[in-house]
Structures are given as structure tokens and as C-alpha cells.
Structure 1
Amino acid sequence: MQKVFLFLALVFSLTVAARSQEVLDRIVAVVDDNIILQSELDQLTFQFALQNGIDPRKQPEKFEDLRKKVLDQMVVQKILLVKAKQDSVEIDQRRVDKLLEEQINAMVQQLGSPEKLEEYFGTSLRRIRRNIRKEIEERSLVESLQAQKFSQVPVSRREVEEFYKTMKDSLPTLPARVHISHILMPVEPSAEAKRKAMAKIKEVQKKLQAGEDFAKLAKEYSDDKGSAQRGGDLGFTQRGDFVRPFEEVAFNLKPGEISDIVETQFGYHIIQLLDRRGEKIRARHILARVPLTTEDEKRTVHFLDSLRTAIMDGKITFAEAAKRYSKDETTKDKGGDLGWFEIPQLQVKEFREVVDQLKPGEISRPIKTQFGYHLVLLNERQEKRKLSLDKDWETISNFAQTAKRSREFQKWVDEIRKDLYIKINL
């Protein structure tokens, strides 16, 4: 969850170039056997402009300065990507899947809906997912390489003291921060709604088993209106385009094979694989959606209200309740601990507004977000202040270590550059 709230710092690229189909793509940089396209540079520049509040039309000079900085950053990443591949660096695909889902969910939360996300970036959600997945994979390779090379960069006490003496006036003021925990309870459909959806998809399954046409049944029964009119056809896709339970089944089917019933967060699916081309597949599906009602929301809110009362009455601690009931798998085992945040870092508006009003030890009423309903506990609040060696040795030591690591990292990159062909065409 913490990464969800910090997602803007993690999102490295999105598809924006699709806004203008008239622009002819060209190569703006070559790094060994890797190229950087104009469209890729535009995508990343528009993304950083969005993050930094730069309007390309009203601030063209700032935008062009940003474009040059972005290209420099992309070149460095490509240099390190070459080295990562040479060193056979591996990454955890499950972590890639997790980061992808977190980033997509967070962007949908920020913009309001998947449709608005597609409208904003001028392309399909499938393409957005594909581009983000590629960037996460490349960035993860580079980060893994950097971790192997620079995870241990020791700094002595003398180096820390010298750093503080030199940089004292430039060190940032510690901003006001809050330490929060939460309990997440998604709105779950009723057992009756699940039963009806399952009955519907089983009826479809029987018709398929009796030999009825898949496309005809998709048009008649599927609740995925986007694909239903195409007979459930999803076109050619690759890993990362859909949620994991769906993909795990679809990518393991043989051409022509029809799956058993598959459950995802959207409902119940039956999937048929139509074709396979290398790493891409063409599949179609029929979806029986499980609808949510206001009663489902009321039931969730009532449960959290009762849980909040039990915590406040001392019948159970917040940490115990989080471990027992929270559906946030990344924090429940830590008692719901989300860590420290500056208030502006809480990208979810509902969290930010509520936490700003809480006192240490207070628990919020249920807060609704895209992910469900939350109880939020304010563990501690720190007011802003200047850094000092006696109070903030670890923080200043980390700054000193980061500065030293940055110097050594730049020397290392410069050495790698000497052995690579690099050409900039901007």
C-alpha cells in the first residue's frame, strides 16, 4: 500500500505519443544495440511534465529543458541496461506483476476510472499496462544491478561530520510527518450475488459443452460489453495485459481449448484460446460479473464501525485487528503499519484529508477509497524542524552515504560509457 501512495515516484513511463498519430517516429539516441525513439522520449517527458506541473503549451522553454534532462536520464538507463544484460541480472516477475497492478490501480484512483485513464493518455488500458510493464522490467534490472554494485558504500564518522559541515545550510528542513497504520476491507459482493453469477456462468458452460457457438454465447451472455459484441474476442495480448488469475489460465491453454470457470476480481470467466504467436496470445472470454450493491457497502462499513468500537474499548488492539481482518496483504502481518509519510505524499485524497485532522492515537471512521474501506490509526505526528547531528545522525549519515554513492556511481557509468557506442540525435 505504501507504494500505492507513492506511485508517482515510481511510474517511469506512460503512453502519451498516441495523442498525435501524425508525428513520424525517429531515433533520437543509440546506446550500443539499444535505441531510444522520439515517441519514447515524448512519453517520458510528458509524464514528468505532468508530475511537475509543467504545461508544454504555456511553458515551452521549461518543457524543452525537461526533455533534454529526460533524454540524459534515458541514455544512462540504457547504458546500465546493457551492463545488466551482460551480467545476466535477473528480476522477480511476481514483483513486476505487483508493481504493475499497484501503479494501474493508483492511476485509476487519481483520474477516476479506467475509461478516464484511457482518455487522458490517448490509448487503451492494455497498451498503458504493456508500456508500464516494460519500463518496470527495465528499471528493475537496472536497480538490481545498482544494488549489487553499490549496496555497500560505507561512510566514516569523519565523512558524515564533514558532509554536515559543508552541506549544513543546504540540507532540507525535516517536513511535518505522520506515522499511520490501516485496516483495509474491500467491499465484497453478497453470497447470493456470487451464487447468481456462478449459476449464469455454469449455464453458459453447459451450452458450450453441448456444442453451442462461443461467439454467439458471448454476445448473448457476457457482461464485458467491450468484447461481447466481438464474440468475446480480446485480440492479441501479452503477459501483463490482464489480471494474474486470468493470465495464468489463458497462457496455459492450447489453441481451441476452453477453460474451466475462472474467478477474478471482476467475476467469473470462461476463456478460449484462439491463437498463439510467440509470446502473444489471442483469446476470447465470457464474463459473468458479480455486481456490488449499496447493501454490500453498508455491511462493510458496519463491520469496520464495530471493529473500531472494539479497538477503542480495549477488546482488541489495532495491530491484532489488522493481522486478523485486513485484506492488505502487504501490511497486515505488520499490524497494518504503513510507515511514515509527509501529508502531501498521501496521494489518496480521502486519506490525506482525514489524517490531517487526527490526533496521535485516534482512529478514523471508515474511509472509502478505490480499494474499499479503511480504518486509519495515527500512531505519531512530527512537526517540521532543522536537521541536527545529535538528533538526526542516521538521516544525515544516509545523506552523506547517498552523496558518496552518487559520486562513485557516476564514475562507474563514465567507465562503462567508454566501451559503448553512443549517439545523440536530438
Structure 2
Amino acid sequence: MKKKKLLARMAYVAICCIVASVSAFAQAPVQTKVDGIIAKIDNHVILRSELEFSYLQYLAQSKQQPRPELKCEILRSMVQDKLLLARAEIDSITVEDAQVSGELDRRMNYLTAQVGGVERLEQYYNKTVKQLKDELRRTVRDQLVMEKMQQEITGKVTVTPKEIKRYFNEIPRDSLPYFSSEVELGHIVKFAEVSKQQKAAARQQLEEIRKRILAGEDFATLAKQYSQDPGSAQEGGVLGFFKKKELVPEYEAAALKLEPGQISNVVESQFGFHLIQMIERKGQEFNTRHILIKPATATVNVQEAVTALDSIRTLIMNDSLTFAKAAKEFSDDKATKDNGGMIANRATGSTYTPMDQVDPAIFFVIDTMEVGEVSKPVAFRTEDGREAARIIYVKSKSVPHQANLDDDYQKIASAALNEKKSKAVDTWFRKNFDSVYIEIDPEYQDCKVLQLTN
């Protein structure tokens, strides 16, 4: 039963963190019953459609046959997650708006890369990026709060070497996992820089648009015609209400100097050049529209980035600089530069990636490399469409093998720690079920949702 519960939790978390980033704004599946509330946990509810969607998504991903007990396990996980949210409210556990916005951007970039660009993403869902973000924002906030609440519960949980060894020895020999070949990879990225001439041309174009607006033309109409922000252009440039620190600093600083109706000067940010109009203020929030012009990138010269990386590689190869230090000092990839340049496995968060899951563009670079080698600079395009170059470091490679403490100590330690944390969370649930109001629809009474097992 314990394994089933963990499996259900893994299923629901996977749906929430990856697939449900799509499901939050995808079409709901056809239902045979009228939708309605099937569980209440303080101020939080679970709809029948939410349970059905999570259940069907898991079946589709796992290719399992429908099982009523699995649906019960998923419902139990959903109730437990809502309990985390309810207790977080009681305990004043919150997350910063900037963190929510950052996670939204990360997910949008991931989805955009998966479908092949912003336009395809918007066509697929028949919604703008802004609309997708607005619909997903609450879900992302809830997930981040749940993660923070779980961290409050399990943050001090540790495992000793003795516990790790005992955990491994309790696994039946015929049940030991078989690990395929895995690799640890790092990279140092340099973005191709836009030339001064290209920047000047983009700025001049926006200056001309500003003159037309000041002469009486409609801001929204020109935004639809010229803005290169696909998330707001068709909305007349309207971004909607944001709080402080939710937008890039340059944009926010310029916007907050404006009174409703006023137009800013041309503002440069990491995204390009903006022309901003303040629409409305409400307390600590403000609503603006903008026109974004990006410098032309068709003629971006990647060679400068390649040359810079070649020099960095030479320093590393001559032992004048470690790869980790070079990444921290020179890499333009914010996601990896402070982690020694190491690329995380998106599915697990670890730095180990099965060879059959390595990005093909990277695989053909590292296929013949030895451990410790650093590749020559190679040009590539980032998930958000930027031209760049990188050097790739092979930190480790493993051969296929059955799990053992010598080769897989860190993985086994992680599994032992996760089991101990799971027990800590279960203990917390047992103690806190009575601290909030919980009501389950009689239709699901056979699921025994409020009954936890060891």
C-alpha cells in the first residue's frame, strides 16, 4: 500500500509540475457526469473534473489499465496537497510574486520549445501567452507554496550512512534497479551579441512610432501592427496588472514614473526596446501597455561568442582555471553558472542524465568524448530562440549496471532520504488532518481518503 501511495503522489506531482502546466489551460476531457465539488479542505476545493483529468493523464502516461483504487490514491494525494495549502495559510507560509513570475517564464519557455515557438503555442491553445500565464499563475503559486510547506516539514530530515546501508540491504536482491548508462554534463554558454548598429536601428524605429503616437495615432493600434511581444501585441500591447518586482527592473522603473495616459521615452531591457503607456493604478498594482521592438538578429555574429569560449577552453585545458570557476565567471546561462555549469536532469533535478535522454544536439558532441574532456565551442539556439555558443564538459559517464553501494551511493542515499521525508510528511498529515475542515463527497467514501496507512 505504501508503494501505491507513493506512486500516486509521484503521478499527481508529475502531472502538476510538467503535464498540468499544459492541463491548466488545455481543454478539459469529455465527462460523463456533471462537474462539481467532490472535496472541501477549508477554503480549497477539488472538482470532479480535476480528479478525472489527473487520473486520465496518469493512465495515458503510464499506459496502465483503469483501476478504481488508483483514482482513490490520486484523490488522496490531491486532498493532502490541499491540506498543505490550507495549513500554509494558517501558518502564513507564502512565496514572492517574483518567484511565481520566474517559474511561469520557465514553464512558458519550456512549452514554447516543446511545440516549436510562441506562434505555434498560441495557435495550439488558441490563447495568447499572456492569457496562458494568467490562467496558470494561481496553479504555479499553489505548487510553490506546497513545496515550501513540505520543506518546512522535511527541511531538517537527514539520513546517516548506517541508514543508507540499511535501506539498500532491505531491497530484495531480485528487485535491485538496473541503471542504464548515465552522464554528468556541464556547459558554459555565451550569447551572440547584437551589434550597436542593430540596436540603434531598433531604437530609431521605436522613436518614430513614439512620434506618431504623440501626433495623435492610437497606441493600441500601433502595438497590434508593430509590437514584437506575441503575448500582448494582439491585446493592443496591454500586459495587465502587475505588482512591483514582477516585471524587469528597467521596464518597471520607467512605468512607475508615468501617470495614467502618459507615454515613456524608449526603454531598453534584456528583451529589446519598449515604449510604455500607463493605463491604470490600483493600490500596489499597475496596468500598462507597451510596444516592443527587438534588434534584428538575422545577422547576429556567433563567431565572437565562439572566439571567447575558445579562449576560456584553453585556460581550462591548461589547468589555469577550473570548469566550475569558469562557468561562474563567464557563462551567460543563469540556470547553471552558479552550479559549476552542471546541467540538471529536468525529470529528477539531479545532474545525472541517461544517455538516451540527452539532448540530441549535445549527444553528438559528447558521443566520442572521454570523461574530463571539454568540447570545442559549438553554436546552438537556446530554448527562447537566442543565438549562442557553448563548450560542453563531460564530468562522468557510467556503464549499465545493477545498483550497488559503491557506484550508486548518492542515488541510494537520495532514495533513502526521500523515503524518510515521505514518512515525515505522512506523520505530519496524521497530526494535522483534524486541524482543518475536510469534507469528502459520499460518492468517494469507499476511497477512505482520510485514512492513512504506514
Residue range with higher mean Cα deviation, 411-420 or 270-279: 270-279
* Partner of residue 342, structure 1: 353
Does the 8 Å contact 1:188/1:292 carry over to 2?
no
Match of 1:99 among 79, 103, 119: 103
Residue aligning to 1:3 = none
TM superposition shift of 1:87: 0.7
- Provide closer, same or farther for how the CA distance between residues 35 and 244 of structure 1 changes in structure 2, counting only shifts above 3 A: farther
Map 1:237-316 to 2 at 5 A.
244-245=248-249, 248=252, 252=256, 254-276=259-281, 282-301=287-306, 303-305=308-310, 307-308=312-313, 311-312=316-317
Once the 2 structures are TM-superposed, how far is the Cα of residue 193 of structure 1 from its aligned partner?
0.6
- Secondary structure at the residue paired with 2:429? helix
Structure 1 pair 397–223 and aligned structure 2 pair: CA distance change class (3 A): closer
1:418 corresponds to 2:446: no
Once the two structures are superposed, what CA deviation does each residue of 1:225-257 show, in whole Å capped at 9, x if it has no partner? 786576x343745569x9645873587454323
Pairwise CA distance, 1:86: 0.7
| Separation of aligned partners in 2, 1:145 and 1:80 | 6
User: 2 CA distance for matches of 1:156 and 1:306?
Assistant: 44
- Decide whether the 8 Å contact of 1:236 with 1:283 is kept in 2: yes
Closer, same or farther: CA 302–137 of 1 in aligned 2, 3 Å: same
Which residue in the other structure is 1:369 paired with? 381
Query: Given the superposition, is the C-alpha separation of residues 422 and 123 from structure 1 closer, same or farther in structure 2, using an over 3 Å criterion?
Result: farther
CA contact (8 A) 2:15 2:58 kept: no
CA distance change for structure 1 residues 337 and 83 in 2, over 3 Å: closer, same or farther? Answer: same
Does 1:379 find its partner at 2:395?
yes
CA distance in 1, matches of 2:298, 2:261: 36
Match of 2:45 in 1: 35
CA distance in 2, matches of 1:18, 1:72: 24
For 1:350 and 1:177, the matched residues in 2 are separated by: 17
Percent identical = 30
Query: Offset at 1:85?
Result: 0.9
Match of 1:4 in 2: none
1:83 CA drift (Å): 0.7
- Aligned partners of 2:66, 2:404: CA distance in 1, in Å? 35
Structure 1 CA distance for aligned equivalents of residues 306 and 109 of structure 2: 22
State the distance in 2 between where 1:21 and 1:407 align.
34
Contact 2:153 2:428 in 1 (8 A): no
Equivalenced residues, count:
412
Q: Output aligned runs, 1:310-325, within 5 Å.
A: 311-312=316-317, 318-319=323-324, 321-325=326-330
Q: Which amino acid aligns with 1:383?
A: V
When residues 18 and 276 of structure 1 are mapped into structure 2, their CA distance, relative to the original with a 3 A threshold, is: farther
**CA shift digits 1:244-279 (9 cap, x unpaired):** 458735874543233332334442111213245678
Determine whether 1:87 maps to 2:80: no
Q: Any gaps of 5 or more consecutive residues in structure 1? A: 1-6
Q: How far did residue 189 of structure 1 move?
A: 1.9
Which residue in 1 is equivalent to 2:202?
197
Alignment partner of 2:20 out of 13, 17, 30: 13
For 1:46 and 1:120, locate their aligned partners in 2 and report how far apart those are by CA, in whole Å.
20
d(CA) in 1 for partners of 2:368, 2:239: 48
